[in-house]
């Protein structure tokens, strides 16, 4: 069948042809279908049977353009293949943290997957001041397992090279290359500056050669360090949570890239959640401090959990194989030193990527709800001055911050030091 852009009325007929769907939903005579996509790229539908409303699923279709802009921004549907592949790969590694793919139709660029009915978007939950007891544990485990198993440390060298070739995602990488690493660091037409953010501060950043160089170095790393299969867009809006579960969704940006990229984006988004609580918790009539402490504790546990799990997976894999990246000789002190420096280098990269993310979400095209939703321009700008300042510090000091506690201290100082 040629590609057809489906809609609420045509989707039902399509779904009746898919055995895994009819098996799940049961009575297919009357379906409830609602379009719920709030992302920039694709269309997303919730589908359930009226006769059996508890049975429900998600349908995601990529059209040959960007949803946010329309046909004026053409985009191939290749991203749907990349997303389905990543959902299956990450799902095989972490079935408890990735929605199950029930059906993928490459010709229709259509993924049918498990609906997370009892889960909330993490970004929205953090704006509301909610806590999730397993958040850092789950996300750090997801990061360690997905990033380790895509790398040369687990795959054979040739299988890894083939994986790099088979997961090229040039169109969506280019969005990242432009909108994360390039445009926000110059006075580009695509940037969006909030009304009360002082132009002098924007100009100061754009005229800081050391900052522009650091951003360009992170861009080079993103484009050239083909270390592992990344989620590629792991902000808090790509996470669905409740009190017991954590799911990572929407990996259409998946590509080979640096080990520090996904952890860095998550850290940056936790820092943004942290800094924005000086508005959100006060609006809710609360003292922000306890929730802010909880948020930074999540960032700390996330990094420590990730690095410990990654090192444990590495050690176990090499112990089992009887050989390792450094060779066959089981020289414990060399291995320990190599692994320590390896994780230290991932950490520097992660801080650099976090710095880019903080700055691009403030000056670039795509904003985050916890800041963009602040209606008072002055209050919003006050938060934005902090996200910029923290982003700048992380980028410039990424090689000198020696552990996650120093990074958390930097976040605390940034919050306190500005008016």
Taking the least distance from each CB to a second copy, the nearer of 166 and 244 is 166
Rounded CA-CA distance 183/416 in Å is: 29
Rounded CA-CA distance 300/306 in Å is: 10
Q: Least Å distance between CB 105 and a second copy?
A: 25
Q: Can you list the pairs that 126-130 forms with residues at least 24 positions away whose Cβ atoms lie under 8 Å?
A: 126/236, 126/273, 126/295, 126/370, 127/273, 127/276, 127/280, 127/369, 127/370, 127/373, 128/280, 129/277, 129/280, 129/281, 129/284, 129/286, 129/291
Taking the least distance from each CB to a second copy, the nearer of 51 and 159 is 159
Taking the least distance from each CB to a second copy, the nearer of 333 and 417 is 333
Q: Does residue 328 bind a second copy (CB under 8 A)?
A: yes
- Distances 76 to 172, 181, 369 between C-alpha atoms, Å: 10, 22, 28
Q: Does residue 226 bind a second copy (CB under 8 A)?
A: yes
Rounded CA-CA distance 330/156 in Å is: 19
Q: Does residue 174 bind a second copy (CB under 8 A)?
A: yes
Beta bridge partners of 45: 35, 59
Q: Does residue 315 bind a second copy (CB under 8 A)?
A: no
Site for a second copy in 250-269 (CB under 8 A): none
Token pair in block for residue 362: 């403030």
Rounded CA-CA distance 142/122 in Å is: 15
Q: Does residue 105 bind a second copy (CB under 8 A)?
A: no
**CA 100 to chain CA centroid, nearest Å:** 18
Q: Does residue 317 bind a second copy (CB under 8 A)?
A: no
Beta bridge partners of 229: 256
Q: Does residue 341 bind a second copy (CB under 8 A)?
A: yes
Q: Does residue 397 bind a second copy (CB under 8 A)?
A: no
Stretch that binds a second copy, among 46-54, 57-65, 81-89, 204-212 (CB under 8 A): 204-212
* Residue written as token pair 């800081």: 208
Closest by CA to 56, choosing from 22, 97, 25, 18, is: 25
Contact 28, 45 (CB under 8 A): no
* Residue written as token pair 């390039």: 182
Rounded CA-CA distance 17/239 in Å is: 31
**Interface residue with a second copy, options 102, 173, 230, 249 (CB under 8 A):** 173
Site for a second copy in 146-165 (CB under 8 A): 152, 157-158, 160-162, 164-165
**Interface residue with a second copy, options 50, 128, 207, 378 (CB under 8 A):** 207
Q: Residue 162: count other Cβ atoms within 10 Å of its Cβ.
A: 11
**Interface residue with a second copy, options 29, 186, 286, 409 (CB under 8 A):** 186
Q: Does residue 311 bind a second copy (CB under 8 A)?
A: no
Q: Does residue 14 bind a second copy (CB under 8 A)?
A: no
Q: Does residue 76 bind a second copy (CB under 8 A)?
A: no
**Interface residue with a second copy, options 28, 137, 179, 187 (CB under 8 A):** 187
Q: Least Å distance between CB 381 and a second copy?
A: 23
Q: Does residue 188 bind a second copy (CB under 8 A)?
A: yes
Taking the least distance from each CB to a second copy, the nearer of 28 and 164 is 164
Q: Does residue 338 bind a second copy (CB under 8 A)?
A: yes
Q: Does residue 107 bind a second copy (CB under 8 A)?
A: no
Token pair in block for residue 177: 């290359």
Rounded CA-CA distance 253/287 in Å is: 37
**Interface residue with a second copy, options 88, 206, 317, 344 (CB under 8 A):** 206
Q: Does residue 185 bind a second copy (CB under 8 A)?
A: yes
Residues that bind a second copy (CB under 8 A): 152, 157-158, 160-162, 164-166, 168, 170-171, 173-174, 177, 182-183, 185-188, 206-207, 209-210, 212-213, 215-217, 219-220, 223-227, 325-329, 331, 333-334, 337-338, 341-342
């Amino acid at each position: 069948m040629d590609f057809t852009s489906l809609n609420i009325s045509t989707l039902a007929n399509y779904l009746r042809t898919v055995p895994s769907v009819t098996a799940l939903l049961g009575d297919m005579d009357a379906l409830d279908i609602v379009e719920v996509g709030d992302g920039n790229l694709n269309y997303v539908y919730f589908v359930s049977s009226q006769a059996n409303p508890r049975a429900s699923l998600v349908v995601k279709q990529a059209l040959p353009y960007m949803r946010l802009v329309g046909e004026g921004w053409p985009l191939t549907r290749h991203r749907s293949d990349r997303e389905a592949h990543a959902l299956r790969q990450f799902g095989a590694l972490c079935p408890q943290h990735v929605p199950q793919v029930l059906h993928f139709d490459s010709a229709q660029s259509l993924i049918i997957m498990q609906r997370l009915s009892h889960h909330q978007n993490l970004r929205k939950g953090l704006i509301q001041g909610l806590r999730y007891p397993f958040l850092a544990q789950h996300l750090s485990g997801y990061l360690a397992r997905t990033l380790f198993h895509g790398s040369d440390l687990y795959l054979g060298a040739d299988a890894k090279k083939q994986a790099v070739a088979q997961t090229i995602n040039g169109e969506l990488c280019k969005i990242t290359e432009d909108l994360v690493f390039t445009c926000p660091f110059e006075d580009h037409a695509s940037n969006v500056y909030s009304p009360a953010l002082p132009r002098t501060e924007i100009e100061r950043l754009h005229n800081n050669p050391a900052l522009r160089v650091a951003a360009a170095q992170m861009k080079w790393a993103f484009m050239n360090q083909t270390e592992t299969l990344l989620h590629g867009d792991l902000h808090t809006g790509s996470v669905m949570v409740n009190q017991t579960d954590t799911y990572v969704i929407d990996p259409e940006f998946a590509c080979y890239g640096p080990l520090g990229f996904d952890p860095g984006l998550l850290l940056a988004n936790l820092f943004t959640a942290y800094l924005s609580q000086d508005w959100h918790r006060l609006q809710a009539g609360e003292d922000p401090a306890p929730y802010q402490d909880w948020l930074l504790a999540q960032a700390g546990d996330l990094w420590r959990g990730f690095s410990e799990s990654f090192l444990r997976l590495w050690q176990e894999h090499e112990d089992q194989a009887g050989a390792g990246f450094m060779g066959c000789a089981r020289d414990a002190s060399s291995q320990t030193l190599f692994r320590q420096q390896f994780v230290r280098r991932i950490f520097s990269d992660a801080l650099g990527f976090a710095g880019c993310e903080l700055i691009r979400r403030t000056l670039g095209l795509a904003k985050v709800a916890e800041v963009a939703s602040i209606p008072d321009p002055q209050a919003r700008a006050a938060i934005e001055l902090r996200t910029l300042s923290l982003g700048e510090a992380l980028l410039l000091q990424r090689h000198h911050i020696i552990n996650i506690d120093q990074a958390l201290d930097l976040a605390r100082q940034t919050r306190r030091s500005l008016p």
